[in-house]
Amino acid sequence: MVESPVAGQRVKVEVNSHNGLTVIQGVALHPAAKNHVTLKLVNGYNASYPIEEIESIEILGSNTPLSEQKPLPVDVDETLPRIRILHTGGTIASKVDYSTGAVVARFEPEELIATIPELTAIANIEAVKLGNMFSDDIRPQHWNSIIHASKRAFDDGCDGVVVTHGTDTLHISSAALSFAWCGKGETPPGRIAFVGSQRSSDRGSSDASENLISAVYWAAHGPQPLGDSGDGVVVVMHASNNDGVCAVYPGTGVRKLHSSRRDAFQTVNCEPLAMIAVENGECSHILEPGYEQNQEKGSERPICQRPTSYETGVRIAQFVAGPWFHSEEIEAIVQTGVQAIVIQGTGLGHLPIDDPGKDAPENTKVWRALTRCINREIPIIVTNQCIHGPVDMNVYSKGRKQMEMGILGHGSVAAPDTVVVKVHWALSNMMKVQDAVAANLCGEGINLLRT
């Protein structure tokens, strides 16, 4: 029986497979199972074989641990735009250390370019580590860190900013920065692009490289943002499950709609802003017709010199309307001192507040609890749990009753998460919630409604 190689060694292995004797080469990883040899193949995939099926193992050499690798210096081309990458976490700026089997964040410019050399032809890359966390752990204080870091980048003369971010809450953070830079009728000094990856960089099917190349390209060579078209902050991700094209989505009009597909991000009640074609590391882009028309019209918004931020102490409760929605939940959450309540309503934005058959007293209690909240000046905002389509409380008497109560949200087409961020921004910046919900602050409003 052969001896297992040490993790990190480059090896050539002869294996007795169903097709006869097969010779493969790769880098040894920690075994995926007992009495197995696991290799990282050159195509990015892993392969595991029982030791008893292996005829021979030839050691070809050893990989240098990432911690000991010294990247080559980066040549600076002064004619290229200057882009700063803000790393918050996720797998997009990571690579596998085969000597340990661990995924390690590599966010220094030299390391990024060593991994994706195509970036050198697009922009001069700088990089700053803000954190290395799962995106589901990100909170408003982290939004503020990204806001301040993006302002520093523009103050230092950068032409654009790319934020690498885990995908689970990427669309929430992009909305947060959109309101921070554009909520008061302004536009950023340059382009800001959020980007992530659905597949880790050690997988053959990874989308990390194309996504990052496209995001850097947009930040460097995209049009100047208008600020009122959802373009103040954008999200750049795969446009389909295939390689070759990435989409540029409005930062306030996109949502992660699939847990694992590479095209998990899709627009909500709006269209993409542009498509970026990536071929052999070279990029080109085409603006979508509606956004191209907006660019031709231009914008009178001034450049934002001081983006707003978020109060970390703001508390917003969220509920989903349905058979399990009870008044006791509302009353309990009010006791915690919430400053607003956002409810994902059914259909056109309806809530269970009627009891026409006199057999559902729970609904009457919900109506009374919500009325008490409004009397206490706690804003109640309805969004659409259907995700797509507007909140329209004019269609049915139920909706008109809700508006008479003082419930907000009529006419909104923004995704539920964007609405919550918008309410948080309003509460943080001395703006009346009812005014913010009714306004189109940075492209999240009705002008992006699909026909």
Predicted confidence (pLDDT) per residue in 36-91, tens digit: 998 877 766 778 888 889 999 999 887 655 445 555 566 678 899 999 999 998 76
Look at the domain 9-62 and name its fold: SH3 type barrels. (2.30.30)
Amino acid at 444: E
Give pLDDT < 70 ranges for the chain.
1, 43-44, 63-75, 91, 93-111, 200-205, 446-451
pLDDT value at position 203?
A: 61
From the candidates 184, 256, 398, 422, give the one annotated as an active-site residue.
256
Question: Right CATH number for 67-297 from 3.30.460.10, 3.40.50.10280, 3.40.50.1000, 3.40.50.1170?
Answer: 3.40.50.1170
Catalytic site includes residue 256 = yes
What is the spatial distance between Cα 435 and Cα 379, in angstroms, rounded to a whole number? 11
Look at the domain 316-448 and name its fold: Rossmann fold (3.40.50)
Amino acid at 269: N
pLDDT value at position 451?
A: 36
Catalytic site includes residue 167 = yes
Catalytic site includes residue 354 = no
Asked, colleague to colleague, whether 67-297 and 316-448 share their fold, the answer is yes
From the candidates 168, 243, 354, 392, give the one annotated as an active-site residue.
168
pLDDT value at position 200?
A: 64
What is the spatial distance between Cα 119 and Cα 124, in angstroms, rounded to a whole number? 8
Please state, as a whole number, how many other Cβ atoms lie within 10 Å of the Cβ of residue 271.
16
- Do residues 90 and 165 lie in contact, with contact meaning Cβ atoms separated by under 8 Å? yes
- CA 311 to centroid of chain Cα atoms: 21
- Do residues 434 and 406 lie in contact, with contact meaning Cβ atoms separated by under 8 Å? no
Q: What SS3 class is residue 36?
A: strand
How many helices and strands (H and E) does the chain possess?
10, 20
From the candidates 38, 88, 91, 383, give the one annotated as an active-site residue.
91
Amino acid at 430: M
Please give the structure tokens belonging to residue 195: 């980007």
What are the structural domain ranges in the chain?
9-62, 67-297, 316-448
Q: pTM to 2 decimals?
A: 0.84
- Do residues 314 and 339 lie in contact, with contact meaning Cβ atoms separated by under 8 Å? yes
Catalytic site includes residue 168 = yes
Partners of 86 in the beta sheet? 128, 163
Please give the structure tokens belonging to residue 212: 């990052």
